Amino acid sequence: MSIVSHGHMFFVRRLLEDIARFKRDDIEVILTLNLPEELTFSLESMPFPIRIVKNTHPKGFAANHNHAFRLSHGENFVILNPDIRLIDNPFDALLAMVQENPKCIAAPLIVNGMGAVEDSARKFPTPYLLMKKLAGKVFHFSVTQDALPIKDELLMPDWVAGMFIVVPRALYETLQGLNEYYFLYYEDVEFCARARLAGCQILVNQKIKVIHEAQRDSHRKARYLMWHMKSAAKFFTSQAYLRISIRRLFGAM
């Protein structure tokens, strides 16, 4: 299990305490401190091993989680944002999903603190839709999301946000991890795109809900918005996006 803190130790401690409530004996946590900060809890207070990685300089989402993967040993790899809160035990159901289907990426339904479903599971973005969303923010109109396919109460989006995903170890290795060409944004989109091209499914269990507490920096700070747009441009010019576009043009995906 990989958690990366960017000065979010308050959130990290609460998340680890949430995980500890479920008393699993098969958990290992790789906690990466992307910025200098002190632990606010004792490692011995947690009922599972925690390995601390202290970066000498900040790294991106992909680089941090890929490094954590290389340090991990489990049959499955879980990526968790520190600002996730666990309501009930999400692990049993999500791990059962990837055991039943080793060629899938499993995720819970993400809700905000008020219980409203976040748009963390979507169809692949397109330049047109991205510009439409930007125009909606400028001119204050909403953009309706297309309905996602559902099978046996599981959502089947094109991609899920990387704030909480479960990936079989063999699949993560086959896909060669997250793409470190991206920085902070679109790593999860591109990862899911390569997974879909490899014949994998992206599955969201609607019965499993977790809370996402944070605000989106890309909606508030110009610097983050610039990084977001740069990553979007990289994705729209990527081989993965080109291959998906061609397949969909001919109805093959």
> Over 70: is that where the pLDDT of 216 sits?
no
Cα 87 to chain centroid, rounded: 18
What percent of the chain stands above pLDDT 90? 79
Domain presence at residue 228: no
Provide the domain count of the chain: 1
108 vs 91: CA distance, rounded Å: 9
CB 37 within 8 A of CB 5: yes
**The pLDDT of residue 155:** 96
* Burial (CB count <10 Å: 0-12, 13-18, 19+), residue 150: exposed
pLDDT band, very low/low/confident/very high, at 103 (cuts 50, 70, 90): very high
Q: Give the per-residue pLDDT at 138.
A: 67
Answer whether residue 230 is part of any domain.
no
Higher pLDDT, 193 or 133: 193
Closest CA to 76 of 13, 15, 164, 158: 164
The answer to the question of residue 239 being in a domain is no
User: pLDDT class for 233, splitting at 50, 70, 90?
Assistant: very high
- Does a structural domain hold residue 161? yes
CATH number reported for the structural domain that contains residue 185 in this entry: 3.90.550.10
Range of the domain at 168: 2-215
In a domain, 225, yes or no: no
Domain annotation covers residue 124: yes
Choose among 87, 167, 63, 67: nearest CA to 52.
67
CB 154 within 8 A of CB 165: no
Judged by average pLDDT, the poorest of 56-70, 149-163, 205-219 is: 205-219
For residue 52, what are the β-bridge partners?
Answer: 31
Classify residue 74: in a domain, yes or no. Answer: yes
pLDDT of 217 over the 70 cut: no
What are the tens digits of pLDDT across the range 140-183?
677 677 778 888 889 999 999 999 999 999 999 999 999 999 98
Contact, 141 vs 243, CB < 8 A?
no
